[in-house]
C-alpha cells in the first residue's frame, strides 16, 4: 500500500480572499489524492524556536510541501514550521508586494497543478543563527531569522548606545535608533526601507544597516558568511533595547546585552515555479522604470514633435483622396508643369522638398514610450 502524498496548507484566515483560495486549493489537492492538513495558529511570537511541538503535531516532516496562501507575513509565519526541515515552502501571494511568494492569486489553479505534477525547483535560502546573551543569565538564548534580526530602542524618546564588532574585533560605537542584521532575502524588506542595498538571493552574507545613527561613519555593510557580527547594547545606553526576528519573535535587551549573528547551519527551502532571474522579480515587484528619465524625456519630446507635424499636415491633405485627373490637368496647364509650389520642385509645398506622410499610428506609438 502506497503512502498518500501529504500537503500542509498555511493561510491568513482573517481574509475572505484567503478563505476562497483555501477552498479551491483543498478541493483540487484532495481530488488529486493528497492528504491535506490545515494550520491557522498565530505561531510563535517569542524569541527562540518554540515550534517543535507544532511540527510534530502537524507532521511537517511527512509533508511533500507546505503551501502558503497569503502575503510575505504569512510566509514568514509558515517558515517557523519548516525551518530545520527538508520540506519546501510554496507561497501564493494574497497580500501586497509578495516578494517571497511564487505565484499570484489568479494563477492558483496552475500552481496547484504544478504541485500535483511535482513540477517545481527547490531553492535554498540562507538563514541566520541569532545568539543572545543578557547580563545575569548564565546560558545564552538562541533563535534564527530568514529576513532579519533587528535591535531597536525600547522607547522612542531617546537613542540607544551600541557597539558593533565583526569576528570579535571592534568596528564602531554610536548612538542610534537601532541596527538591522539582514539576510539577502531580507534585503528587500526592513533593510531596504532603511537605505540598505538589495542583495541577490544567492549571496550568503549578513547585511548590517544602522538606523538613524548619530555617527560620521554608519554606512550599510555586507559581511561574509564565515564571519560573525555582534551588536552590544552598551552599559552607558540610557535605554534598553528589543530584539525582533522577522518582525515576529521578540526579546528584551537590557544594557549589557549582546546579540551575535552568524550563518545558520541549515538553509530554508522554497519551491520555485518560475525560472525567471531575480532581476525580473525585482523589476516586477517594485514596478521599476527600466527606461531612464532622460531617455523618457527624449521619447516624449519626439512624440510631441510628431503630434505637431500631424496637426500641420492632416492626413487628408497628404494622402491622395482619389479626385478626378481633370483637376490635376487643369492645375498643370495653369502652372506650365507639375504642381511644384514656389520653387518648381515635385509636390514639395513651400520648400520644394518631398513631404513624407505622417501616420496617426506613429504619433500614438511614440507617445506610449516603450
For residues 324 and 257, give the distance between their C-alpha atoms in angstroms, rounded to a whole number.
Answer: 96
- The residue with cell 490637368 is 329
For residues 7 and 120, give the distance between their C-alpha atoms in angstroms, rounded to a whole number.
Answer: 15
For residues 304 and 281, give the distance between their C-alpha atoms in angstroms, rounded to a whole number.
Answer: 33
For residues 107 and 20, give the distance between their C-alpha atoms in angstroms, rounded to a whole number.
Answer: 14
For residues 143 and 241, give the distance between their C-alpha atoms in angstroms, rounded to a whole number.
Answer: 17
Q: List the catalytic residue out of 41, 49, 72, 202.
A: 72
Is 72 annotated in the active site? yes
**Contact present, 60 and 35 (Cβ < 8 Å):** no
CB crowding 30-66: b at 16 or more within 10 Å, else e: eeeebbbbebeeebbeebeeebeeebeebebeebbbb
**Contact present, 195 and 265 (Cβ < 8 Å):** no
Angle (CA) 171-138-156 rounded to 5° is: 55
Angle (CA) 324-328-331 rounded to 5° is: 140
**DSSP code of 117?**
T
Sorted by sequence, the CB contacts under 8 Å of residue 177 that are 6+ apart come out as: 152, 153, 159, 160, 211, 212, 213
- The residue with cell 525580473 is 280
Q: Is 31 helix (H, G, I), strand (E, B) or coil?
A: helix
Which residues are annotated as catalytic? 72
Amino acid at each position: 500500500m502506497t503512502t498518500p502524498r501529504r500537503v500542509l496548507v498555511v493561510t491568513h484566515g482573517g481574509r475572505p480572499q484567503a478563505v476562497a483560495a483555501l477552498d479551491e486549493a483543498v478541493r483540487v489537492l484532495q481530488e488529486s489524492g493528497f492528504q491535506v492538513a490545515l494550520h491557522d495558529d498565530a505561531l510563535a511570537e517569542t524569541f527562540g524556536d518554540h515550534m517543535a511541538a507544532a511540527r510534530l503535531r502537524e507532521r511537517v516532516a511527512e509533508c511533500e510541501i507546505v503551501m502558503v496562501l497569503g502575503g510575505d507575513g504569512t510566509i514568514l509565519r509558515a517558515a517557523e514550521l519548516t525551518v530545520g526541515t527538508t520540506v519546501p515552502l510554496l507561497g501564493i501571494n494574497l497580500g501586497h508586494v509578495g516578494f517571497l511568494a511564487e505565484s499570484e492569486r489568479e494563477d492558483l489553479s496552475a500552481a496547484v497543478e504544478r504541485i500535483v505534477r511535482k513540477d517545481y525547483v527547490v531553492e535554498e535560502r540562507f538563514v541566520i543563527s541569532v545568539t543572545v546573551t543578557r547580563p545575569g543569565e548564565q546560558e545564552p538564548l538562541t533563535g534564527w531569522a530568514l529576513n532579519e534580526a533587528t535591535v531597536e530602542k525600547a522607547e522612542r524618546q531617546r537613542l540607544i548606545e551600541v557597539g558593533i564588532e565583526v569576528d570579535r574585533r571592534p568596528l564602531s560605537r554610536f548612538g542610534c535608533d537601532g541596527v538591522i542584521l539582514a539576510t539577502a532575502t531580507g534585503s528587500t524588506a526592513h533593510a531596504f526601507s532603511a537605505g540598505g542595498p538589495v542583495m541577490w538571493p544567492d549571496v550568503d552574507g549578513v547585511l548590517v544597516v544602522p538606523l538613524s545613527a548619530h555617527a560620521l561613519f554608519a554606512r550599510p555593510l555586507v559581511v561574509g558568511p564565515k564571519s560573525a557580527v555582534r551588536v552590544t547594547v552598551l552599559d552607558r545606553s540610557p535605554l534598553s533595547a528589543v530584539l525582533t526576528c522577522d518582525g515576529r519573535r521578540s526579546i528584551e535587551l537590557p544594557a549589557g546585552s549582546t546579540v551575535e549573528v552568524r550563518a545558520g547551519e541549515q538553509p530554508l527551502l522554497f519551491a520555485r515555479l518560475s525560472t525567471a532571474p531575480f532581476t525580473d522579480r525585482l523589476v516586477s515587484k517594485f514596478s521599476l522604470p527600466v527606461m531612464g528619465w532622460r531617455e523618457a524625456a527624449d521619447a516624449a519630446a519626439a512624440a510631441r514633435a510628431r503630434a505637431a507635424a500631424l496637426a500641420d499636415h492632416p492626413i487628408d491633405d497628404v494622402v491622395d483622396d482619389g479626385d478626378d485627373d481633370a483637376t490635376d490637368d487643369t492645375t498643370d496647364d495653369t502652372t506650365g508643369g507639375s504642381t511644384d509650389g514656389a520653387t518648381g520642385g515635385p509636390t514639395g509645398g513651400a520648400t520644394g522638398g518631398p513631404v513624407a506622410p505622417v501616420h496617426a499610428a506613429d504619433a500614438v506609438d511614440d507617445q506610449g514610450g516603450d
